[in-house]
Structure 1
Amino acid sequence: MHASSGDRADTLPQHPTSPQPTGTGRVRQAVFASAGSPYFSAVLALMAVVVILSNIGATKGVTFGPVITDGGFFLFPLAYILGDVVSEVYGFRAARRSIITTFVLAAFAVLCFWIIIILPGAGWYDGQEALERTLGPVWQIVAASLCGFLVGQTLNSYVLVRMKERFGEKGLVGRLMGSTGVGEFADTLIFCTIAASVIGISTVPDFVNYVLVGFVYKTAVEFAFVPVTTLVIRWFKRHEPTYGNAAA
């Protein structure tokens, strides 16, 4: 089964998909599924939740010996793994849509936090200071997270899809690892530059530590989860009715 014209619309329009030779001499194109699928909606919702929770967790500075990070360190790599699924299965347009939607929802969440903080507290409520301390700086963390997320995820998706268009369905592991390195570096550098002051980092050595640890950690986690990401992507490809019959 070949991808329909609606499916091909999810590829990068300025870079048409090129046919790729297979070992049997047949030609196999890079194909994508329709973003109208309920599977896509579920992944998009999960990505938004992960990003919002990681924004809240990132307001807490965390140390493991000499390692400096934040409380959202274990969540944010999941957003990139989900982004890889969207890019590989649904294409660049769908990935861009998921990035923008997540951006808007996270911004809406911080607006809600701000309203909650300024609402007059009941006479018996004694948690205002803790609430402000926890959610008050979220706006800056959100700015850091979303700027990094917007640039990093876009680069990650672009590189992954362009590699798929170049090599067809072959080389999934290489696509995942190559796009991760590019996207995570941009994301981490932007995020750490904006967020450092919120979690109390004020010296150059600590900042360099923060950036390098964040980049190495996030990249290592994604590399470690490549086998899982690959299995998830293959599952989506098998169960998406609009996806072509090419195997990853």
Structure 2
Amino acid sequence: MAKSFKHLDTITALFVTVLLVSNVASSKIVDLKLFTFDGGTLLFPLSYIFGDMLTEVYGYGRSRKVIWLGLISAVLMSLTFMVVGALPPTPDWNNQQAYEQILGLTPRIVFASIVAYFVGEFANSYILAKLKLLTQGRQLWMRTIGSTLVGQMLDTGLFVAIAFTGTVPTSLLVTLIVSNYVFKCGVEILFTPLTYWITNWLKRQEREDYYDSNTDFNPFRLSNR
């Protein structure tokens, strides 16, 4: 009989919510002087924090299922926005242009988001799980930050390169990549004490601290292990 957990569903729901809200907020480019990035960057780093908690407490196998759930949800949301945008509006509704500007996601943006999310999240989860084995469960800060540095580098680089290459000046392309990467990793580092506290609390509550000693790390395998 599979073990039941008190808080796995909550962490899963928060992870998927952060992902979907971030995708919508990404339609706006924000300029905070020191940083220039899409609006989703304000929230998206939390998905990596939740991903760290999932892998650290419940293991790579369960984290893999949640990553796939997030991917399927993001694809469904994007397709819904595009289909609704393509449908003819009623004559007395004058917001079609505004809808298309905010929610009319282009196939290129959707593709960039899916590829970046898939590669970045799985890299983050894989590295954290492997580092946990290597460190024998010690130095959580090193595992969460180290895995995020790699995952966010792949995520940010792929998304910006696929989504905007050829559409914006190269200087802005570089600024977007650097600003996004520095900000996202900075949030992870800043939230490390809170990540420690919640992760240790979850381990006590769930009586689980999974080590992926015999895990199949194939991202396309949907079993728990």
What band does the TM-score fall into relative to the shorter chain?
0.7 to 0.9
- Find 1:150's aligned residue among 118, 132, 135: 118
Q: CA deviation at 1:86?
A: 0.4
User: Which 5+ residue runs of structure 1 have no aligned equivalent?
Assistant: 7-33
The DSSP-based 3-state class of the residue aligned with 1:121 is coil
> In structure 1, what is the Cα distance between the partners aligned to 2:84 and 2:196?
41
Count of residue pairs brought into register by the alignment? 211
Residue 72 (str. 1) matches residue 43 (str. 2): no
- Find 1:190's aligned residue among 153, 158, 164: 158
> Kindly, what percent of the aligned residue pairs are identical?
33
Q: CA deviation at 1:68?
A: 2.0
Which residue does 1:104 correspond to in 2? Answer: 72
| TM value normalised by structure 1 | 0.79
> In structure 2, what is the Cα distance between the partners aligned to 1:67 and 1:170?
34
> In structure 2, what is the Cα distance between the partners aligned to 1:244 and 1:155?
20
- Give the 5 Å matches for 1:79-98: 79-98=47-66
Residue identity in the other structure for 1:191: F
- Name the structure with the higher helix share: 2
Cα-Cα RMSD:
2.2
User: Which 5+ residue runs of structure 2 have no aligned equivalent?
Assistant: 212-225
> In structure 2, what is the Cα distance between the partners aligned to 1:109 and 1:236?
30
CA pair 160-133 structure 1, distance change in 2 beyond 3 A: same
Residue 118 (str. 1) matches residue 78 (str. 2): no
Contact preservation (8 Å) 1:58, 1:141 = no
Residue 45 (str. 1) matches residue 13 (str. 2): yes
Which 4+ residue blocks in structure 1 deviate beyond 6 angstroms? none
Provide, for residues 36-65 of structure 1, a one-character-per-residue CA deviation record: whole Å limited to 9, x for no partner: 424112211211111111111111122223
Instruction: Name which one, 1 or 2, has greater alpha-carbon Rg.
Output: 1
Which residue does 1:207 correspond to in 2? Answer: 173
Q: CA deviation at 1:236?
A: 0.6
Q: CA deviation at 1:97?
A: 1.1
